[in-house]
Amino acid sequence: MNTNRFETFFDAVLAIIITVLVLKLTQPASPTLGAILALNARFITYAICFLVIFIIWYDNHNLFQIVEEIDHKVLSIYAIQIFAISLLPYFATWVALHINSVAAETMYGIVFLAIDILYIISINAIYRANPYNSELGQS
C-alpha cells in the first residue's frame, strides 16, 4: 500500500488531537497575570503533549519521505498508536486537575510509554515491510 493516504490521515488525526488539547485549556478567571499563572499546570501539560505530538509528527514525516510501502501490520500498529495518542487530551486534563495524584501521573506516563513502545514496534514493522529500501537502512 502506498503511504500518501496514510500520511494524510495521520496528519489530520494529529491536528484534531492538538485542537482538542487546546480546547481543553480554560480561560483565566480574570484578565490578570495571577489568573494566568494559576492555570500553570494546564499549560505545562498542554505544552508537554504538544511537544510530544510535534515530535511524533516530525519523526513520521521524515520517515515517510523514504518509506515506499506499508502493509496491514504497519497500519494495525499505527492504529493502536493513534489510539494511544488520542488519549493524551483526556489524561492531560486529568493530570492538570489533579497535579499531585499518583494515579493521574502514572496513567499519563503509561500513555507516553505506550506511544513510545508502539513507535519502536512500528519502525521494526516498517523495516520488515520495506526490506529492499536502501535509504531506510541508512536512516
Domain count for the chain: 1
Domain that holds residue 15: 4-138
Question: Which grid coordinates are listed for 22?
Answer: 487546546
Mean per-residue pLDDT over the chain, rounded: 91
Q: Is the pLDDT of residue 120 over 60?
A: yes
**Phi, psi angle pair for 38, to nearest 5°:** -65, -20
What is the dihedral sign for C-alpha 111, 73, 126, 5? negative
Mean pLDDT of 79-101: 94
**Phi, psi angle pair for 69, to nearest 5°:** -135, 145
Question: Which grid coordinates are listed for 6?
Answer: 496514510
Question: Which grid coordinates are listed for 81?
Answer: 498508536
State how far the alpha carbon of 103 is from the alpha carbons of 4, 33, 78, 89, 127, in Å.
Answer: 39, 30, 27, 16, 36
Q: What pLDDT score does 89 carry?
A: 94
Identify which of 32-36, 50-54, 95-99 has the greatest average pLDDT: 50-54
Q: Which residues contact 111 (CB under 8 A, 6 or more apart)?
A: 84, 87, 88, 91
Q: Is the pLDDT of residue 65 over 70?
A: yes
Percent of the chain with pLDDT over 70: 98
Residue found under cell 508502539? 118
Comparing C-alpha atoms, which of 117, 101, 122 is closest to residue 41? 101
pTM equals: 0.86
Q: Which residues contact 124 (CB under 8 A, 6 or more apart)?
A: none
